[in-house]
Structure 1
Amino acid sequence: MQTRLITALSATVITASALLTSPAAAEEAQAVSVSFRVANGNTWTDGTITFYNRSVTVTGTHKSVSNASLATYRNTGAYTLNSERHQISSGVSSLNDEARGSTEAFTFSVGADVPGGAAVVRICLDDGYYEDLTCDLYGRPS
């Protein structure tokens, strides 16, 4: 009976240890966030960048004051950079989340598939052509 109990306990400890050291668990354990705000005139994007080991998630809202043309629409773009400020990857908010004379919420992820993930993220307020209007850099918090 004791042998079975010890075997069962050992299996449980091994399983729990594997779950705690799985990539997903390690990814979550390293998550840190920073707030951002990028403005251009009376339009803006603001929200939170969450840094993970191999990606970032950008969540927030962007505002457009006119729906007159693509030039007045607003989107949010993000570029992940390594510690030497070389670009790793990029992403942009969905067309469905585009602000057209409104304020719209968005969430998107950008890869950073290098050891330790992104060191810096460049957030840009974009127009409806997805051209960067104004950008700011945000470093990974310690």
Structure 2
Amino acid sequence: MGTRLAAMLCGVALTAGTLLSAPAATAQASAYPTSKFDVTVGNTFTRGTITWYARSVTLTGVHRSVDVDYCRGTSAFTLTTRNAELGRGFSDERVCGTSREFTLPVEADVQGGAAVVRVCLDDGGAPDNITYYKCERYGRP
């Protein structure tokens, strides 16, 4: 009987030790909704993910240009359900004959945030002198 009691107490001690050394459970924050985007013209593109926040969005992705003489960039516009523009953003660096990752935050400072994001593949020019090759609209999930 003594051997069984010792084995049982040892098992209880091991279980208690395992429970005490386990990491504490943490409350997981609810994830923000995301949408995939892909705007392609020929073999140039901008593609990635839109993350929808309460008063902004962030695009993370890659844009690509295949020719050093023809550069590309990414532009994004946040819109209401009635297509009123809330904010706009432009990628910091254009790409010429290469690919590059980017992160592009765009304001949408109204209750509930943007209803739509318009993502454009552009020539990477200055915002006041830019050529948009193709734009696609993505609704909030």
The TM-score bracket by the shorter chain reads: 0.7 to 0.9
Which ranges in structure 1 are unaligned for 5 or more consecutive residues?
A: 1-19, 21-27
1:3 match = none
Structure 1 residue 137 and structure 2 residue 137: aligned? yes
Determine the C-alpha separation between the residues in 1 that align with 2:106 and 2:76: 7
% identical aligned pairs? 46
Q: What is the TM-score when the length of structure 1 is the normalising length?
A: 0.73
Q: What is the TM-score when the length of structure 2 is the normalising length?
A: 0.74
Structure number with higher helix proportion: 1
Of the structure 1 ranges 128-137 and 77-86, higher mean CA displacement relative to structure 2 is found in 128-137
1:44 match = 45
SS at match of 1:99: coil
CA offsets 1:100-122 (integer angstroms, 9 cap, x no match): 10011000100000010000000
Determine the C-alpha separation between the residues in 2 that align with 1:111 and 1:102: 28
Structure 1 residue 102 and structure 2 residue 98: aligned? yes
1:76 match = 74
1:25-64 correspondence to structure 2 within 5 Å: 29=30, 31-64=32-65
**RMSD across aligned positions (CA):** 1.6
CA offsets 1:25-48 (integer angstroms, 9 cap, x no match): xxx747210000001121111000
Which amino acid is 1:138 matched to?
Answer: Y
Which ranges in structure 2 are unaligned for 5 or more consecutive residues?
A: 1-26
8 Å CA contact 2:73, 2:124 repeated in 1? yes
Deviation at 1:131, TM superposition (A): 2.0
1:1-40 correspondence to structure 2 within 5 Å: 29=30, 31-40=32-41
Of the structure 1 ranges 46-55 and 128-137, higher mean CA displacement relative to structure 2 is found in 128-137
8 Å CA contact 1:30, 1:52 repeated in 2? no
Larger Rg: 2
Determine the C-alpha separation between the residues in 1 that align with 2:132 and 2:51: 21
